[in-house]
Structure 1
Amino acid sequence: MWTYIKWGIRLTLLAIVAAFLHYTLPQRDVVRITGTYNRMTEVGANSIFYASPDSGTTTSTVDRRDIRFIEAVFPNNKPMVYRNEDTGWIWPPYFKYDSSNLQAEATNSISAKDKPEWVAVTHYGWRLPIFSIYPNAVKIRAVEGPDVRLIPWVNIIVLTLLAGLVLMLWRMWAQFKERMIEPAVDDLSNTLDAMDARADAARDRAKGFWGRLFGRK
């Protein structure tokens, strides 16, 4: 039973870390921009998925603020909507202060369906329509076409460094366990064994004494 509990905890922690990385690390979509607009948005309970109210130009209240949006479609005509907010120095660390310029770039990249101009939108976050959650666009650049291949170098570098850090911590823990914890556990086990042996010997002596005392007439 305890084994299942331990694996359940490990898998839960792994899922949390994976979700955190998937939300935070940059992703790139090849899309065609169809429109841009500003909208007074009720943030409310979803404030965790929006920029802090003191980041850049986002100075309105937490529950209601004016947010820039970018509308786009994928090559398969599936729609996509991005928000365009400054992140400032707050997490995630994109240090974005140019949401106005990015909105101008997005507006300049609007194209019609019969004459598409494809762009790669770098963003972080998720699009969850049921909760009115939008990924935050960070960068826009023109690409040759919808089939362009984009290599996620940033993600590769970050995940490689993270894997190296985890491996280093794992080795440090293994060495600490081997040098400190296991000898301490062995010493404790030996001490307990010695105590048990002394207790058994004392019981045997006591039995022998009382046996001699009451066994004779």
Structure 2
Amino acid sequence: MKNVLTFRNIIVAIPLLAIILVLDYALPQVDVVRAVGVEIKRMDTEDSKTGQQRTRDVYFLQTETQDGKPRVYRNEDNFLYLKFNSADLQAKVQSFATDKQLVAVRRYGWRIPAFSMFPNAVKVWAVEPGYSHIPVFNTIVIVGLLGLAAFVFLRVRRRLKAMAQKRQEKEEREAREAEEAADRARQEARHKDADIESFLNSDDRKTD
């Protein structure tokens, strides 16, 4: 357990968890539900620029799962998803709700009751019982992100390996230079000792 909860693992896990949460919120998902009705709520919001309260109408789509659990979606335009037909989608779902048509709802976002958050519906279309959606777009995005992450990881790993190799070569070079300097110092010391010995021997011969 101590090996898992290391500082390095925590530092890596935090951005990874953040990326997973962002993808889970932003990537479109498809729910198969029955259209029940539509609703328009007048909501008070605060203008981020002026700080004043303003009132606007918000569309909601009312559906239920195939086992009878209620599920509500917000129906608002979104530039990133190129959705500009909220009113048309509202009318379409109202038509489906007449016969409680089984529909597929492409949406993004989360349902958090404590914050009155609803997933936003992007597209709705009629489906047959047993319909199963294949998330092609999400698969492409996730595979692309994994490929990009692998590419970055390999580049960083190669760079770190090259830096480690350069550092090792520098240390080896410095070690060789230190050893050569030590050898030169030893040779000079031997030469000095030889000179001193030669000088002393020459003095002894003169004395004789």
Where does residue 171 of structure 1 map in the other structure?
154
Match of 2:7 in 1: 5
Change (3 A) 1:191 1:62: farther
Distance in 1, Cα, partners of 2:31 & 2:175: 64
Question: What residue in structure 1 maps to residue 76 of structure 2?
Answer: 85
The answer to whether the Cα contact below 8 Å between 2:36 and 2:100 also exists between their aligned partners in 1 is no
* Structure 2 gap segments, 5+ residues each: 187-208
**1:51-94 deviation digits (Å, cap 9, x = unpaired):** xx9xxxxxxx7865321111110011111110011112xxxx21
Count residues with an aligned counterpart. 179
Q: Which moved more, 1:163-172 or 1:120-129?
A: 163-172
Instruction: Select 2:125's aligned residue among 134, 141, 161.
Output: 141
**2:107 aligned partner:** 123
- Structure 1: runs of 5+ lacking an equivalent: 48-52, 54-60, 206-217
Q: Which residue of 1 aligns with 2:199?
A: none
Shift of residue 174 of structure 1?
Answer: 2.3
In 1, Cα distance between equivalents of 2:16 and 2:108: 20
Give, as a single letter, the amino acid of the residue that structure 2 aligns with 1:119: V
Letter in 2 for 1:15: L
The normalised TM-score by structure 2 is: 0.74
SS of the residue 1:110 aligns to? helix
Task: Give the SS at the match of 1:77.
Answer: coil
Q: Does 1:107 align with 2:94?
A: yes
Please name the residue that 2:168 is paired with. 186
Q: How does 1:30-41 map to 2 (within 5 A)?
A: 30-41=32-43
Q: Say if 1:62 and 1:175 are closer, same or farther in 2 by CA, change over 3 A.
A: farther
Cα displacement (A) at 1:142:
0.4
Amino acid at match of 1:172: R
Query: Do the aligned partners of residues 62 and 27 (structure 1) sit closer, same or farther apart at CA in structure 2, a change above 3 Å counting?
Result: farther
RMSD (Å), alpha carbons: 3.0
SS in structure 1 at match of 2:97 = coil
Change beyond 3 A, Cα 1:7–1:63: farther
Distance 2:115 2:170 in 1: 55
- TM-superposed CA distance for 1:41, in Å, is 2.1
Separation in 1 of the partners of 2:68 and 2:176?
76
Q: Which aligned pairs between 1:14-53 and structure 2 lie closer than 5 A?
A: 14-43=16-45
Distance 1:123 1:142 in 2: 15
The aligned residue for residue 134 of structure 2 is 151
* Separation in 2, partners of 1:103, 1:109: 10
**Residues in 1 aligned to 2:89 and 2:72: alpha-carbon distance in whole angstroms:** 14
Where does residue 66 of structure 1 map in the other structure? 57
Distance (whole Å) between structure 2 residues aligned to residue 20 and residue 183 of structure 1: 37
Q: Which has the higher contact order (CA 8 A, sep 6+)?
A: 1
The question of whether the paired residues in 1 share the 8 Å contact of 2:74 and 2:120 is answered with: yes
Query: Identity of counterpart residues, as a percentage?
Result: 33
Aligned-pair CA distance for 1:191: 6.5
CA distance in 2, matches of 1:119, 1:129: 23
